[in-house]
Amino acid sequence: MTIAVAGVPTSRKTPGVNFNVVLGGSGTSAGSAPQKILLLGNMIPNAITGASPVLSVSAGTWIVPGSPNTAIEAPTFVAGVDDANTLFGFGSELARMAAAVFAGSPDALVYGCPVADAGGTAASATLTFAGGTASAGFTVRLRLCGLTFDVPVANGDTVTAIAAAVADAINDQSTLPFTAQNSSGAITITAKNTGPRGNTIVVDAYFVTSTGTEIRMTTGGASSGATTTGTWSNTSTLGGEITLANGATQDNFANALTAIEPARYDRIVGACIDATNIGRIVTHINTQAGPTVQKLEQAVCGCSDTYANAVTLATGQNASRLQIVWHHASTLPVWEVAAQACAERLAGDTAAGGLLVGESSDPAANLDGLELVSVPVQRVIADQPTSTESENALNNGLTPLAPSGSRPGYASVVRSITSRSLRSGVPNYAVLDTSSVTVPDYVADFLRSDLATTFAGVKLTSDSADGTPPRIARVVTPSIVRGHIAQRLQEMEDDGILRDVAANLSLLVVEENISVPGRLDCEIPAEVMPGLHIVAGNVRQL
């Protein structure tokens, strides 16, 4: 047979082992036994200040000095949460994404690359206390981005004093992605980064009476039961949640992707939630995966939008190397959800008390039910996916999250899949589970390294008619190389990565290229050992 290797022209002269990972067959593609996680998102390039109450948020140190300072759109190593806060600024997208990664995988190898802020409008919302001075003591409870904290209110406190105390309490939580300022009882909450992503950040506040009853503040107003009222305004909604609003001017991930191109990052997590920037990431990782580049990467992005909009996003990408984690109406910014899901895909869920191993130790790891250590379930039950919605999400390239069966209040991965669900517009699930991408990339990485070492400096001759090996030292034939590859594939089956290697050996072909002396062309079957996802049966009463 004649083997066509796309992307490796017969005119190529540079020596090397060039494997093109072909997606969409019974074995699939995209990943490797990875270690490095790259985070793409905004930092805080300029200090943020306020006067009421006094507020100062320092710019991250990963900046180009100047006036104003601008982010360095280049990757840098992130040693831990404190390092991320210093480099990118407390409460920035990148700092919070790094915290989510380290929560799920304390030993993760993390890099961050800022995407320049577009200089647009920061999303905001207003929480107004009115109605008059408090006639009794109560509490204002805030549930913001995974944190819950209380602000006590005393009998006789004015609405301005209440608002000032609440704004102070928000600003004291330095890792929150927004700041607060008070004006005569009206608190303006403003995202630390500009742009439309801020419009998905959820805010949630309650009055708590002396008897412990919670009364949620809404856009329709709420009474504390002690004269004072609280009302949200200038907001938007996401499912049953209140969000910031009016963030505008989308940033552009293109320069950051160009900056990271020379290096390989096994997993790339994008803060982006728009189709344009996600598409840029997909183009980048597909180019990097070419057989003459051979930097095999996967990307993870998040979506908290409605089911219909999330499906549109996923099917619009339809990419084997992309995972879209869907967590509708997430109370945690969804780019942080994506970051933690990515980290635990690699490390497993032991940080959350789970039992699953990750892709770093087992490329074929079954990630069904992966426990996410700090991702809360939706506050409103109606926002949680139904079993039908989860099934349909899996049919349309979305990785849905659902309430954990063992950790009340937290979320777990239903099934870890890629965004690829269509071929020529027709449903096709040849590349469904992320393992169906990770394993062939692992095979390609392993064989590339192994063959380059094993056959370094050897010469190539044809197979003899009688099948005897060459008598000359350091001379090999296609059959010798084929036998070596077959042995390595069998070892991967012994490790639980591949299956049916012996049955698929007839598909393993290694042959000389008829027009290029010294070149071997290969067809290497890699049937992924699947996870046990479904057990079906009847429980029959007799």
Cα distance between residue 29 and residue 296, in whole Å: 9
Same domain? For 295 and 210 the reply is no
Same domain? For 129 and 114 the reply is no
Q: Which helix (H) or strand (E) holds 182?
A: strand 178-183
* CATH classification of the domain holding 226: 2.60.40
Quick: pLDDT tens for 372-422: 999 999 999 999 999 999 999 999 999 999 999 999 999 999 999 999 999
pTM of this structure: 0.92
Same domain? For 109 and 138 the reply is no
Query: What number of CA atoms fall less than 13 Å from residue 83's CA on the CB side?
Result: 11
Same domain? For 234 and 352 the reply is no
The residue from 399, 427, 455 where one domain ends is 427
The residue from 427, 454, 476 where one domain ends is 427
Query: What number of CA atoms fall less than 13 Å from residue 184's CA on the CB side?
Result: 0
Quick: pLDDT tens for 158-213: 999 999 999 999 999 999 999 999 999 999 999 999 999 999 999 999 999 999 99
pLDDT for 72 equals 83
Largest CA distance in the chain: 101
Q: How many domains does the chain have?
A: 2
In a domain, 540, yes or no: no
Question: Which positions of the chain have pLDDT values less than 50?
Answer: 13, 26-34
Same domain? For 220 and 302 the reply is no
Which conformational region is residue 318 in: left (phi greater than 0), alpha (psi within -120 to 50 degrees), or beta?
left
Q: Which helix (H) or strand (E) holds 217?
A: none
Same domain? For 224 and 270 the reply is no
Q: What DSSP designation does 464 have?
A: P
Place of tokens 């067809």: 523
Nearest residue to 409 (alpha-carbon basis) of 215, 148, 96: 148
pLDDT for 304 equals 98
Task: Tell me phi and psi for residue 285, to 5 degrees.
Answer: -70, -30
Could you list the residue range(s) of the whole structural domain that residue 336 is in?
36-118+250-427
Contact 35, 360 (CB under 8 A): yes
Contact 98, 335 (CB under 8 A): no
pLDDT for 10 equals 66
Cα distance between residue 266 and residue 38, in whole Å: 8
CB atoms < 10 A from the CB of 512, how many? Answer: 17
In a domain, 10, yes or no: no
How long, in residues, is the chain?
A: 542
In a domain, 402, yes or no: yes
Cα distance between residue 416 and residue 326, in whole Å: 11
Give SS3 for 452. helix
Q: What DSSP designation does 383 have?
A: G
Same domain? For 257 and 402 the reply is yes
Contact 60, 86 (CB under 8 A): yes
CB within 8 Å of 298: residues ≥ 6 apart: 30, 31, 34, 266, 267, 268, 285, 321, 322, 323, 434, 437, 438
In a domain, 467, yes or no: no
The residue from 405, 427, 449 where one domain ends is 427
pLDDT for 15 equals 63
In a domain, 460, yes or no: no
